[in-house]
Structure 1
Amino acid sequence: MAQTFAFLLILLGAQFMASSFKICAFNIRNFGKAKAANRKVMGALVQILSRCDISAVQEVRDFKGSAIRVLLRQLNRYDHSHRYSYLESKRLGHGSYKEQNVFVYRMDLVTVTDWCQFGEEDSSPFKAFVRSPFAARFHSPVTAISDFVLLLHHASPRETAHELDLLFGVCMELVQRWKTQNLMVLGDLNASGAYIPASAWAGIRLRVHLDFHWLIGDKEDTTVSHWTCCAYDRIIVHGEELLRAVVARSAKPFNFTHALGLSEEEALEISDHYPVEVNLRLAPRVQREL
């Protein structure tokens, strides 16, 4: 019993033993060297991301990669109970504007077993994405579902409806490629407001297919500004086993303005988006020992 408890302390962190496993997606908005050099912004980002076991970070815009390395260093200094690592996409975008998607994860709790960047081949049907989706397969011994896929995408505002429909095909490709039903689509999908006319929803397979469950509802507000109220950022689950592993009603935006006691102006220095998050249940053997 003592050996088992010691093993759990190593897995879950000696300082904090969570009752669930948290995944979030966060468009940090133009995250590069300027933000990485801003102590106040970085302090807030570290507090936000250290709440999560996997963070899907978007709009990383530093072509040298130094900003994300600074973020990892500060996360590891701030949270001594875990060790953080990251997996980054290629620089995405058809024109001069480029950005990256990055998975930041606690390497003591989860490992990356595979990854895939879509739209790389000239003949690919997914070449139409302005910024091609990025997928990673994860394994965790502490979650109720040990193997799952996260598909991260930042949709183009001008092509939102078309890209959301294309994501259905990406998901089916991943189901075939990795022989798993359990995948989660997440990120800034621009899935709200003027970007998707009401008439377009019926033609989006990712929306209408019964195997996909949209956990962030249309009436949620994932934006920081009080002038907007839009559910741009979403979490969508495919696979009954993964859906059963989700903690009921845990999917929601994280309002860091209120949580960190910031003014709207201070919050907008961090991002114009709130992270969206969801919790997975822990494995039964881990729950029994908590």
Structure 2
Amino acid sequence: MRTAGLVLVVGLCVAANVVFSLKICAFNVQSFGESKANNKKVMGILMKILSRCDLCLIQEVRDSKGRAMQALVKELNRFDISNSYSYVESERLGRKSYKEQYVYIYRNNVLKVKEQYQYSKLEPEGTNDTEVFSREPFIIRFHSPTTLIKDLVLIGQHTSPKTALKEMDELYIVFREIYRKWKTENVMILGDLNAACSYVTIKGWRAVRLRSDPKFVWLIGDEHDTTVREKTHCAYDRIIVRGREIISTIVPGSAQPFNFKETFHLSEEEALEVSDHFPVEVDLKPNHRYLLRNEL
């Protein structure tokens, strides 16, 4: 009987690992606004993509009226009736007239927002007092009861191509500030960092502290392609983690771009109507005890 019971528990844990691991995504939806929100075909594909994720950082939201994101989340709740989605958005960010927002869409039944922080900092005196980031990072601290790690911080960032290396290096300072502010090392940096191809150089990489410090683990490697166009092969979009606890909870092999063009049998033209980027994603291991007690 003991053996049978053990086998049952192990089997349930394996099932929980498959079904209940937490999928975190980051997706540059390329100028998402009312035009895309009103395109039924594009929205249909976005529903399929976003419903795969428990938590997704959306970038390049360009909608001054705020209607597009409301429509997206409303449609997502209709599409995936087994879950309830909420979202938290940054202010509109940008140095001049061009503005973007970061938006985190998440499932209410598995995640709760504990704190949020819109980073803003000027360069040291003597450097013209210009901002380092074109769009400052938007940072959210989540409580995640269904995973082994209960407290995690996400630093969302979309760098400017021209200053990608400089902005990536500055994210090291952002991490240090978050560590002082919230006393946690379990941090995930994610988004379109423009971290590949013509926007980076070998010499430039050496100066990026996120890259040279071995405590930061780059889950999306240089060999990955996060671009939709067949003529490009660049790992622009990345997921980087720091902290022993969060690193130990990553499901091996789960970090990868999601090729929605191939998965949904789209032509390149059809896929580009959605975005010129693929989402990147990673899974976190579940808390089997919690799931066995509350879910199974």
Aligned to 1:170: 174
Q: Distance in 2 between matches of 1:225 and 1:211?
A: 33
Return the offset for 1:108: 1.5
Return the offset for 1:69: 0.3
Return the offset for 1:19: 3.3
CA, structure 1 residues 123+107, in 2 after alignment: closer, same or farther (shift >3 Å)?
farther
Aligned: 1:265 with 2:269 = yes
Q: Distance in 1 between matches of 2:209 and 2:130?
A: 15
Query: What RMSD, in angstroms, separates the aligned Cα atoms of the two structures?
Result: 1.6
Aligned to 2:25: 24
Which letter does structure 2 place at the counterpart of 1:268?
Answer: L
Q: Secondary structure at the match of 1:18?
A: helix
Q: Distance in 2 between matches of 1:217 and 1:229?
A: 12
Aligned to 1:190: 194
Structure 2 unaligned segments of length 5 or more: list them: 1-17
Structure 1 unaligned segments of length 5 or more: list them: 1-16
Return the offset for 1:277: 0.0
Kept in 1: contact 2:121–2:132 (CA 8 A): no
Aligned: 1:208 with 2:212 = yes
CA, structure 1 residues 120+173, in 2 after alignment: closer, same or farther (shift >3 Å)?
closer
Aligned to 2:98: 97
Which letter does structure 2 place at the counterpart of 1:110?
Answer: L
Q: Secondary structure at the match of 1:159?
A: helix
Kept in 2: contact 1:118–1:126 (CA 8 A): no
Query: Matches of residues 60-209 of structure 1 in structure 2 within 5 Å?
Result: 60-119=61-120, 127-209=131-213
Q: Distance in 1 between matches of 2:101 and 2:225?
A: 24
Kept in 1: contact 2:229–2:268 (CA 8 A): yes
Aligned: 1:53 with 2:54 = yes
Q: Distance in 1 between matches of 2:147 and 2:101?
A: 27
Aligned to 1:14: none
Q: Secondary structure at the match of 1:164?
A: helix
Kept in 2: contact 1:85–1:106 (CA 8 A): yes
Return the offset for 1:249: 1.1
CA, structure 1 residues 122+237, in 2 after alignment: closer, same or farther (shift >3 Å)?
closer
Q: Secondary structure at the match of 1:190?
A: coil
Q: Distance in 2 between matches of 1:120 and 1:88?
A: 19
Kept in 1: contact 2:145–2:290 (CA 8 A): no
Kept in 2: contact 1:53–1:105 (CA 8 A): yes
Q: Distance in 2 between matches of 1:84 and 1:19?
A: 16
The structure with more radius of gyration: 2
Aligned: 1:285 with 2:289 = yes
Return the offset for 1:90: 0.8
Q: Distance in 2 between matches of 1:45 and 1:154?
A: 20
Which letter does structure 2 place at the counterpart of 1:205?
Answer: R
- Percent pairwise identity: 51
Q: Distance in 2 between matches of 1:46 and 1:66?
A: 17
Q: Distance in 2 between matches of 1:94 and 1:285?
A: 47
Q: Secondary structure at the match of 1:269?
A: helix
User: How many aligned positions are there?
Assistant: 274
1:139-171 Cα distance to aligned partner (Å, 9 max, x none): 011011011000000001000111010000001
Kept in 1: contact 2:251–2:285 (CA 8 A): yes
Q: Secondary structure at the match of 2:19?
A: coil
